[in-house]
Amino acid sequence: MEAEGDSAIQHEDLALKTAFLFFSEELLPYFGITKKAVGTAATELVQMDIKKFHEDFNFVMEDGSWVHFEFQSRNGGVGDLKRFRVYEALASYQHKVAVTTYVLFSGNIKNPRTEFTEGINTFHIQPVTMSSYSADLLIKGIQRKQENGEKPEKEDLVLLTLCLLMDGEMPLKERVKAAYQITQNTMLADQEQLDKIEAVLYVMADKFLDAAEMDETNIDCDASAFLCRNGKLVKENDIVCYYNLKHKSKAVIHSGDNLTGDGEGDDEQIIVDFSKVSEDYDKIMFVVNIYECKTRKQHFGMISNAFIRIVDADTKIELCKYNLSENYDNKTAMIFGEVYRKDGEWKFNAVGQATEDTSIKSLAKRFK
């Protein structure tokens, strides 16, 4: 942070302070700090002239010393080091403790200055350069765990709050999307902890992404299937979607999010076993809509590389595909296609009707 009189307040400072407050047990070992934090210490330091200095974060360690953290998204050189020296000296003097200063540098800072000499004294800080950490490896490692049916540890998820500060080839926007997908497909014993992780992620995204990218990271497309009798959707439990993942017949199953993006890159999948579909049903409609599109003021034209398709699971042949990003500006839903019984066989018909329906329920009304 800056001394009093500087008006800039960094978004990432707020996010990182929150992360440190809630997740010190997971983050400190990640930065090579082996001592255990047992509390937090004052960050507002007052001189005799009443001028206030605001540090970013102070931990009280188990041996009574303090670990002082500063978060830097720019390389301020000697000027910043002199400021940190004042913080450390004042904190040590006023609170009668030993203070060690760590400075967390975001990934865009490759070779920060870590010490300077003035007179007979040399002051140095302990740098934590996020360019040394890979967001790509972090995200792919957690995705691999989930793909293998393993539950990510809290420590894994906490590190996602720092992914936008890390080095890596994955664009920042894609990091946010991947991180949210991971958290949304994770169950922790303490759901409040997961909410805090997502809150810090949001603040970091707001700092590093522009408005259009923020809108895109929050767009949630939901695929659904409607099982119809005599061409009509009769019962609510004949809707298979994100809140009803399996039809009672087990003939239609919503598989949820594909976190890895491998293969054909499908995100949500609906699998149909026609041998299990009761003769009571003569048609299955496939639709897609944007979740909370009205509240968030979103439409298909705001999404890059979004598509919906139907694939024969046996032959791997793609029967139909629509690119939702190219031709559907201002549209929020689509009746994609249908499979129907004819002469004892299942036939497919591409519909491709874009609509402005705002929910699964409003789409369902079209078939009642």
* DSSP state letters, 241-289: BTTB-B-TTSSEEEEEE-SS--TT--SEEEEE-GGGS-TT--EEEEEEE
Could you tell me if 363 and 225 lie in one domain? yes
Of 27-31, 88-92, 153-157, 198-202, the range with the highest mean pLDDT is 88-92
Residue-level pLDDT at 8: 45
Whether residue 338 sits in one domain with residue 280: yes
* 356, 261: one domain: yes
66-72 sheet: strands from edge to edge:
37-40, 57-61, 66-72, 99-105, 126-129
* pLDDT value of residue 50: 64
Judgement on whether residues 306 and 353 belong to the same structural domain of the protein: yes
Q: What pLDDT does 262 receive?
A: 37
- Domain shared by 122 and 139, yes or no: no
Tell me what the pLDDT averaged over the chain comes to.
84
250 shares a domain with 225: yes
- From 132, 147, 166, give the residue that closes a domain: 132
DSSP string, 59-101: EEETTS-EEEEEEESS--HHHHHHHHHHHHHHHHHHHT--EEE
**Domain span including residue 224:** 220-367
Residues 73 and 168 in one domain: no
Residue 239 pLDDT grade (very low, low, confident, very high; cuts 50, 70, 90): very high
Cα 205 to Cα 192: distance, rounded to the nearest angstrom: 20
Give CA–CA dist 356/290, Å, rounded.
10
Do residues 200 and 18 lie in contact, with contact meaning Cβ atoms separated by under 8 Å?
A: yes
Sequence-distant (≥ 6) Cβ neighbours of residue 103 within 8 angstroms: 69, 70, 71, 72, 80, 84, 112, 114, 125, 126, 127, 128
The amino acid occupying position 360 is I
Is residue 219 within 8 A of residue 302, CB to CB? The reply is yes
Q: Which residues pair with 45 in a beta bridge?
A: 53
For tokens 């032959």, what's the residue?
315
b/e string for 125-160 if b means 16 or more Cβ within 10 A?
bebbbbbebbbbebbbebbebbeeeeebebebbbbb
Question: In this structure, are 50 and 94 located in the same domain?
Answer: yes
Which residues make Cβ contacts (< 8 Å) with residue 262, sequence separation at least 6? none
Q: Cβ contacts of residue 355 below 8 Å, gap of 6+?
A: 331, 332, 333, 334, 335, 363
pLDDT at residue 10 in the model: 61
pLDDT at 341: 93
Q: For residue 5, is it within any domain?
A: no
> Does residue 24 belong to any structural domain of this protein?
yes
Model confidence band, residue 90 (pLDDT cutoffs 50, 70, 90): very high
Q: What pTM did the predictor assign? A: 0.49
Average pLDDT over residues 224-233: 95
Would strands 345-355 and 318-323 be described as parallel, antiparallel, or unpaired?
unpaired
- Establish how many alpha carbons lie within 13 A of residue 355's alpha carbon, considering only the half-sphere containing its beta carbon: 19
- Is pLDDT of 154 > 70? yes
Please tell me the total count of domains within the chain. Answer: 3
Rounded to the nearest 5°, which phi and psi values hold at 134? -105, 120
Kindly report, residue by residue over 334-364, the tens digit of the pLDDT.
Answer: 898 899 999 889 998 888 889 999 999 999 9
Q: Is residue 91 within 8 Å of 97, Cβ to Cβ?
A: yes
Pick from 200, 216, 232: which residue ends a domain?
216
Return the structure tokens found at 47: 């001189």
| Domain end residue (candidates: 114, 132, 150) | 132
Please, what is the angle between helix 135-147 and helix 172-184, to 10°? 30
